[in-house]
Amino acid sequence: MKINLLDLDAQGLAELFAELGERPFRARQVLRWLHQAGETNFARMTDLSKGLRERLAASALIEAPNCVSQPRAQDGTRKWLLSVGRGNAIETVFIPEENRGTLCISSQAGCALECAFCATGRQGFNRNLSTAEIVGQLWWAVRVLSSEPQHARLGEDGVPRPVSNVVMMGMGEPLANFDNVVRAMRIMLDDHAYGLSRRRLTLSTSGIVPAIDRLREECPVALAISLHAPNDALRDALVPINRKYPLRQLLAACQRYVDASLGVEIAGAKWQRKGAPRDFVTFEYIMLDGVNDSAQHALDLVALTRDVPCKFNLIPFNSFPGSGFVRSPDSRVRAFREILLGAGRVATVRKTRGDDIDGACGQLAGRVQDRRTRRPGRALRRERLLSGEQL
Ligand code: SAH
Ligand code: SF4
């Protein structure tokens, strides 16, 4: 079977060229062709010898996911629905702002973690995306946006970049697809590919603790944690992975992550020489009417996170048919934020974008065929929450 070159980071390409008897710098050349020039035809890679181009064409291919549709929202948000085979499709969202362009990337078709309020979790899990399918989303967006002058934007290094920031906040749990996600992120960070800085690449996780530690050592980037509740009982119900990795363990992992960025020595952490990501974690907190949005919840949140350098991002719940939850009223979101600010914390409210194309957080549903047997527990949990049971 031919190898898809979009599955390989610099190290993988170097190994491939070593096997082909070529010098390692070929890896850098080919990375530039693949990701900066967007070239899919070996014959046009003119600085490679004809013989090498022919050998590559015989053993490799360049295959990004196919685009099925690309709706535009009225506020300029764009969405790409990309086919990942067997009737499944994943979604990628681009959010243009004045001084940055953020791409929200998916890591799995569906998600197995079943958070109560999430459209992706509602569909169940189909499969992990390959590295090519993950980085292929950025590949697609850059191809399309580069031809549109309104997205011309200079990166920190003076190189034009329509996508200045990437967030791993689309469909799926990125840390449950660790190897493919890390390989894709290494390509995003590579100067010969997309040249993103570690601070402009954010991974959001629902809290798989051992994988947070691995990320810290293998590919530290800005970290966002989907916290959503200030105590274990409520978090167990909203974010079921909490039963396996409860808050105490999760917050300790956050602390280790931040310590590492501050230069606190961690045995074997090779990346420390390469520059640190941010010196705080972002706690995402979805605002669900009557569930987790009271003044007491805010006070508990302040107490819970006292020792972790962090910022809060309050996310108004984005509804989808049959979600069973309601967005907190703006006044309650404001009151909640005031309590955090009053305690000396940094707290922002996420603007909801792309509503008219279902492009907002948690609304990404793509087209996923659930391969897993459904369990009844989820409906029960939601009922308990909605019945006003205080957690
Ligand atoms: N699986 C990862 C990343 C994808 S979800 C995670 O859970 O962090 C990205 C963010 O969207 C998470 O903070 C998630 O909790 C939030 N989210 C999920 N459903 C949502 C909804 N319906 N409205 C608003 N935010 C939602
Ligand atoms: Fe999965 Fe994240 Fe949705 Fe939870 S919020 S079900 S972890 S995608």
Q: Which pLDDT band, with edges at 50, 70 and 90, does 269 fall under?
A: very low
Residue 206 beta carbon below 6 angstroms from any ligand 1 atom: yes
Instruction: Measure the CA–CA gap between 201 and 264, rounded to whole angstroms.
Output: 22
CA distances, 15 to each of 19, 130, 219, 250 (Å)? 6, 19, 20, 36
Residue 178 — left, alpha, or beta (φ > 0 → left; ψ -120 to 50 → alpha)?
alpha
Q: How far is CA 150 from CA 101, 145, 368, in A?
A: 11, 9, 33
Ligand 2 test: best mutation among 107, 120, 244, 375, most atoms within 8 Å of CB?
A: 120
Residue of the CA atom closest to atom 6 of ligand 2: 121
Report pLDDT for 230: 98
CA angle 197, 200, 201 (to 5 degrees): 90
317 lines ligand 1 (CB under 6 A): yes
315 ligand 1 Cβ < 6 A: yes
Q: Which residues are catalytic?
A: 91, 361
Percentage of residues of the chain with pLDDT beyond 90:
72
Residue 234: is it exposed, middle or buried by C-beta count within 10 angstroms (0-12/13-18/19+)?
buried
Domain spanning 3-61, CATH class: mainly alpha
Task: Indicate if the pLDDT at residue 285 is higher than 70.
Answer: yes
Question: What per-residue confidence (pLDDT) applies to 387?
Answer: 60
Ligand 1 and 284: CB distance under 6 A = yes
**373, exposed or middle or buried, with CB in 10 Å at 0-12, 13-18, 19+?**
exposed
- Within the chain, which residue ranges are assigned CATH 1.10.150.530? 3-61
Alpha-carbon distance values, 165 to 27, 37, 101, 151 (Å): 25, 19, 6, 13
The C-alpha atoms of residue 100 and residue 193 are separated, in whole angstroms, by 19
Mean pLDDT of 172-176: 98
Find the residues whose C-beta lies inside 6 A of ligand 2: 111, 113-115, 118, 120-121, 172-173, 206, 226
User: CB of 204 closer than 6 A to ligand 1?
Assistant: yes
Instruction: Assess whether pLDDT exceeds 60 at residue 271.
Output: no
From the CA of 23, how far away is ligand 1's center (Å)?
44
The fold for domain 66-386 equals: TIM Barrel (3.20.20)
Half-sphere exposure of 299 (CA within 13 A, CB side): 3
Least confident of 63-72, 174-183, 368-377: 368-377
Q: What separation in Å is there between the alpha carbon of 49 and the centre of ligand 1?
A: 47
- Tokens (6 digits) for 140: 């697609």
- Residue-averaged pLDDT of the chain: 89
pLDDT of amino acid 103: 96
Distance of alpha carbon 370 from its chain centroid, rounded?
A: 21
How confident is the model at residue 72, as a pLDDT?
84
Residue 74 vs residue 184, higher pLDDT:
184
CA distances from 296 to 149, 197, 229, 332, 391 (A): 48, 38, 11, 12, 11
Q: Looking at the CA of residue 111, tell me the nearest atom of ligand 2.
A: 1
C-alpha of residue 258 to centroid of ligand 2, in Å: 23
Rounded to an integer, the average pLDDT of 178-207 is: 96
Nearest residue CA, atom 18 of ligand 1?
A: 362
pLDDT digits (tens, 9 = 90+) for 300-342: 999 999 999 999 999 999 998 899 999 999 999 999 999 999 9
Residue whose CA lies nearest to ligand 2 atom number 8: 172
Please report the pLDDT score of residue 2 as a whole number: 94
Class of residue 266 by CB neighbours under 10 A (exposed 0-12, middle 13-18, buried 19+):
middle
Q: Over the stretch 86-101, which tens digit does the pLDDT of each residue have?
A: 889 999 999 998 889 9
Look at residues 185, 203, 181 and name the one whose alpha carbon lies nearest to residue 10: 185
For ligand 1, the distance from its centroid to the CA atom of residue 226, given in whole angstroms, is 7
CATH 3.20.20.70 residue window(s) in the chain: 66-386
- What is the length of the chain? 391
Dist CA 30 CA 112 (whole Å)? 35
Spatial separation of the C-alpha atoms in residues 214 and 10, rounded to whole Å: 20
What is the distance in A from the centroid of ligand 2 to the CA of 391?
A: 21
- pLDDT band of residue 132 (cuts 50, 70, 90) is very high
Number of CB atoms found within 10 A of residue 272's CB: 15
Q: Are 66 and 55 in contact (CB under 8 A)?
A: no
Phi-psi region of 167 (alpha: psi -120 to 50; beta: other; left: phi over 0): beta
